[in-house]
């Protein structure tokens, strides 16, 4: 086997490993006909699947045409279609404010209790400005793994 063939096999194996670790999350707008002021480019969830009892980070990459000085994130979580949890966060606690025109990231970390049931969840997030005007609304799914973290043992 030549050095080139060995390198190619290694590169392909590495690519396949990385692509399974960094899976893209499908994001959908709540209303496809709405022209939201904040456009969401993607959501990264680390780790994926989320581990019970361990920190999980949701990073939302977005873009805006207008400066945002304040606002709220309203989050609703469903499990097998049943609404199970709601929470509201100050936008400026999850990103730097004021949000300038252009690209920005909203990042939220949370530890899910060890008793959280494993399975498929869906999350709906609305971003509101300081006057409660809806800037964007997205939906996406995420998984909570069957294995607990070491902290649960």
Model pLDDT for residues 107-135, shown as the tens digit of each residue? 999 988 888 899 999 999 999 999 999 99
Residue spans of the domains in the chain: they are 25-152
More confident residue, 16 or 74: 74
> Residue 15: which pLDDT band, with cuts at 50, 70 and 90?
very low
Q: Return the pLDDT at 23.
A: 52
pLDDT at 87 over 80: yes
Three-state SS string over the chain comes to: CCHHHHHHHHHHHHHHHHHHHCCCCCEEECCCCCCCCEEEEEEEEECCCEEECCEEEEEEEEEECCCECCEEEEEEEEECCEEEEEEEEEHHHHCCCCECCEEEEEEEEEECCCCCCCEEEEEEEEEEECCCCEEEEEEEEEEEEEEECHHHC
Give the whole-angstrom CA distance, residue 90 versus residue 128. 10
- In CATH terms, is domain 25-152 a member of 2.60.40.770? yes
* pTM of the shown model: 0.78
């Amino acid at each position: 086997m030549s050095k080139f063939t060995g390198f190619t096999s290694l590169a392909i194996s590495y690519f396949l490993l990385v692509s399974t670790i960094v899976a893209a999350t499908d994001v959908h707008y709540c209303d496809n006909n709405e022209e939201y002021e904040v456009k969401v480019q993607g959501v990264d969830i680390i780790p994926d699947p989320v581990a019970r009892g361990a920190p999980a980070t949701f990073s939302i990459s977005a873009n805006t045409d207008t400066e945002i000085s304040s606002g709220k994130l309203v989050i609703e979580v469903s499990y097998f279609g049943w609404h199970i949890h709601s929470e509201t966060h100050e936008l400026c606690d999850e990103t730097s404010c004021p949000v300038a025109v252009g690209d920005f990231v909203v990042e939220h970390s949370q530890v899910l209790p060890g008793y959280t049931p494993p399975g498929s969840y869906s999350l709906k997030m609305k971003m509101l400005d300081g006057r409660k005007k809806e800037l964007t609304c997205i939906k996406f799914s995420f998984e909570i793994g069957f294995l607990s973290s070491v902290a649960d043992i």
